[in-house]
Amino acid sequence: MTELLNENTPAILETKLVIRTLRSRGRELISLFNSYAERTLALLILISASPLIAAMLIIAAIETRSLPWYIQERGLTLDKYRFRIYKIRTMKETTEAADNNGIFIKSGLARQVTVAGRFLRRTGLDELPQLVNILKGEMSFIGPRPLSVEDLKLMLMEHPAEYRMRGLLTSKPGISGYWQIFGDR
């Protein structure tokens, strides 16, 4: 910054540049602190909840007769904050059926949810493996929920204005967002 300033630079401009630089560095420090705090908290929760997660995975494996977890490609948009999300399987594996356009339909899937899966979804415990996403720096505890690639394609086709608004978001996707707090789980 000092190379931008010389004896001809007005004092008020120097002061504004210094303040702007300090604010920018302050935001960077706060962001860095928040990231470390979230990762530390995620690690502590993951360690303390690991027996519960192990039990849920065993129950899910028995009920679904398949891998007890699944990994799904998600993002805020089709090209922003794309990553693989980790979840405990709460439905039988054969429940997703595509319509003619390749978009996944969800009607009738409720009866495919397992008994334990209903409990996990109602309590939000099926989201615990996403603590790994926080540890990897891909997610936060609070933020807009990432959508599946199929849902993003559908949103782009049917609700392009809302899709574009998601592209304006600057925060990381979160485990919990507005809908999880105020909506109907």
pLDDT digits (tens, 9 = 90+) for 97-133: 444 444 444 555 556 889 999 999 889 899 999 999 9
CA atoms in the 13 A half-sphere facing the CB of 36 = 5
Q: Which residues of the chain have pLDDT under 50?
A: 1, 95, 97-105
Q: How much is the pTM? A: 0.74
> Any bridge partners for residue 176, and if so which?
142
pLDDT given for residue 23 in this prediction: 73
The single-letter code of the amino acid at 89 is R
